[in-house]
Amino acid sequence: MKNIVILGSTGSIGVSALDVIKALGPSYKVLALSARSNTELFLKQLIDFKPKYAVVNSQESYDKIKNSIPAEVKLLEPSVDSLCEIASLKEADLVINGLVGSAGFKPLMSAIKAGKVIALANKEPIVMAGALIMKECQKYSATIVPVDSEPSAVFQSLENCDIHTYREAAKNIKKVLLTASGGPFLKYQGNLDDVKPAQALAHPRWKMGKKITIDSATLMNKGFETIEIMHLFNLPLEKVKIVVHPQSIVHSAVEYEDGAIVAELSNPDMRLPIQYAITYPKRFPCPVKPLSLLDMARLDFMEPDFSAFPCLALAQHAAKHGGSFGAVLNGADEVCVEAFLKEKIKFTDIAKIIEKVFNSHQKDFKTQISIEEALAFDIWARQKAQEFIK
Ligand code: MG
């Protein structure tokens, strides 16, 4: 029996995780769930899965649902502390972090300090303070299992892949081939200055939340994943090569010294990497439509276009210099994505504003940061980005 906590159960990762858990059967039990504003779906999930604990991280949501909770579910106070509490429950065997953005940072740190196995979909904390997070994992014997489809593909392509030793195993690889769909604007003929949120939200391959879909359109998501892979697998930037692959069938690959390339291929559906993070090292039937190689006409691979997608270079700058740049990159990006979705700035302003925030940060750059500093740089970057947006 595996007791599972899901942070962000009404988001796209959470919904997929519950779908997988339901299909896996009674050996996998939902211990705690959290959500923020989608109270209708959350209540339905509480009735369906009857977790021991539930958290809604807003007073408004709390007031809305507190009288409708099933008797067996304990609704905790609406606070970040409660998220941290369920992320570190003694009975929890696995914590799935499906939160969005830096909101997942504190609950992740709590899970780490409790020495948990964490299925991590929420890549932003790693972007903000990856070096520190990996150090804390070591200190508290916590383990991160990748959920993001690309790091999961790398994990699955490693020799003797084991959740406790995969960082060691990664020492033997020549490079990671990190695949990118290219997003909705791959080979776009129009002017990227003029694209509207609805166009940027129309991802050709993946159905995901809004924040990550915009990050995919700017290719910032691929920059974030570069940083994520560097930290998770302890690799330098030079060993992570981005390859555009529009069909999103090869979810990333590992190239070995002898030239052999080992990859993971499947239909683009997050339920597969989520399920593997839950059932590792075992594999079971999954609700995802099996991939038929015979149905595929072709698989294309090409170089990314750094000039059309300047967010890539900004993320690589943060990846190369590390330290405080990650927290600044993430904070500025979250503010810019939100401003773009509200049509306060143009699509192309996202990279321009982040670059301005970087330039302002240069003089205060620190090569090593503490948790408090990561959070402080995040706040600073948000304020700075806001100043440039006005
Ligand atoms: Mg991904």
Mean pLDDT of 48-65: 96
Q: How many CB atoms lie under 10 A from the CB of residue 26?
A: 6
Residue 151 CA, ligand 1 centroid: distance in Å: 8
Residue 153 CA, ligand 1 centroid: distance in Å: 10
Residue 73 CA, ligand 1 centroid: distance in Å: 33
Task: Point out the domain boundary residue: 114, 146, 178.
Answer: 146
240, 175 contact by CB (below 8 A):
yes
Residue 274 CA, ligand 1 centroid: distance in Å: 12
- For the chain, the domain total comes to 2
3-state secondary structure the chain: CEEEEEECCCCHHHHHHHHHHHHHCCCEEEEEEEECCCHHHHHHHHHHHCCCEEEECCHHHHHHHCCCCCCCCEECCCCHHHHHHHHCCCCCCEEEECCCHHHHHHHHHHHHHCCCEEEECCCHHHHHHHHHHHHHHHHHCCEEEECCHHHHHHHHHCCCCCCCCHHHHHHHEEEEEEEECCCCCCCCCCCHHHCCHHHHCCCCCCCCCHHHHHHHHHCHHHHHHHHHHHHHCCCCHHHEEEEECCCCCEEEEEEECCCCEEEEECCCCCHHHHHHHHHCCCCCCCCCCCCCHHHCCCCCCECCCCCCCCHHHHHHHHHHHCCCHHHHHHHHHHHHHHHHHCCCCCCCHHHHHHHHHHHHHHHHCCCCCCHHHHHHHHHHHHHHHHHHHC
Range of the domain at 69: 2-146
Q: What is the pLDDT of residues 234-258, one digit of tens each?
A: 999 999 999 999 999 999 999 999 9
Could you tell me the strand order of the sheet in which 94-97 lies?
Answer: 74-75, 53-56, 28-35, 2-7, 94-97, 117-120, 143-146
Task: Point out the domain boundary residue: 146, 181, 206.
Answer: 146
201 lies in some domain:
no
312 lies in some domain:
no
Residue 208 CA, ligand 1 centroid: distance in Å: 10
User: Around 81, how many Cα atoms within 13 Å sit in the side-chain half-sphere?
Assistant: 3
Residue 148 CA, ligand 1 centroid: distance in Å: 5
Residue 181 CA, ligand 1 centroid: distance in Å: 10
291 lies in some domain:
no
Residue 135 CA, ligand 1 centroid: distance in Å: 23
230 lies in some domain:
no
Residue 307 CA, ligand 1 centroid: distance in Å: 22
Mean pLDDT of 193-201: 96
187 lies in some domain:
no
pLDDT at 52 over 90: yes
Q: How far apart are CA 381 and CA 102, in angstroms?
A: 12
Residue 308 CA, ligand 1 centroid: distance in Å: 20
Residue 264 CA, ligand 1 centroid: distance in Å: 13
Residue 209 CA, ligand 1 centroid: distance in Å: 12
366 lies in some domain:
yes
313 lies in some domain:
no
User: Residue 169: what pLDDT?
Assistant: 82
Of the candidates 312, 302, 176, the residue with the CA atom closest to the CA atom of residue 239:
176
pLDDT band at 102 (very low <50, low <70, confident <90, very high): confident
Residue 54, strand partner residues: 33, 75
Q: How far apart are CA 262 and CA 256, in angstroms?
A: 8
Q: What is the pLDDT of residues 85-95, one digit of tens each?
A: 999 999 999 99
Residue 150 CA, ligand 1 centroid: distance in Å: 5
Q: How far apart are CA 254 and CA 304, in angstroms?
A: 18
243 lies in some domain:
no
Q: What's the CATH code of the domain at 366?
A: 1.10.1740.10
- Model-level pTM? 0.94
Residue 291 CA, ligand 1 centroid: distance in Å: 19
pLDDT at 171 over 90: no
Q: How far from the centroid of its chain's Cα atoms is residue 194's Cα?
A: 28
Residue 72 CA, ligand 1 centroid: distance in Å: 36
Q: What is the pLDDT of residues 276-290, one digit of tens each?
A: 999 999 999 999 999
Residue 102 CA, ligand 1 centroid: distance in Å: 17
Q: How far from the centroid of its chain's Cα atoms is residue 227's Cα?
A: 11
- Percent of the chain's residues with pLDDT above 70: 100
pLDDT at 261 over 80: yes
Residue 363 CA, ligand 1 centroid: distance in Å: 32
Q: What is the pLDDT of residues 130-144, one digit of tens each?
A: 999 999 999 999 999
Residue 288 CA, ligand 1 centroid: distance in Å: 17
Residue 149 CA, ligand 1 centroid: distance in Å: 5
342 — phi, psi (to 5°)?
Answer: -90, 5
Task: Point out the domain boundary residue: 146, 179, 212.
Answer: 146
User: Residue 297: what pLDDT?
Assistant: 83
Residue 65 CA, ligand 1 centroid: distance in Å: 33
Q: What's the CATH code of the domain at 12?
A: 3.40.50.720
* Joined tokens for residue 180: 């990118």
Residue 259 CA, ligand 1 centroid: distance in Å: 25
Residue 67 CA, ligand 1 centroid: distance in Å: 38
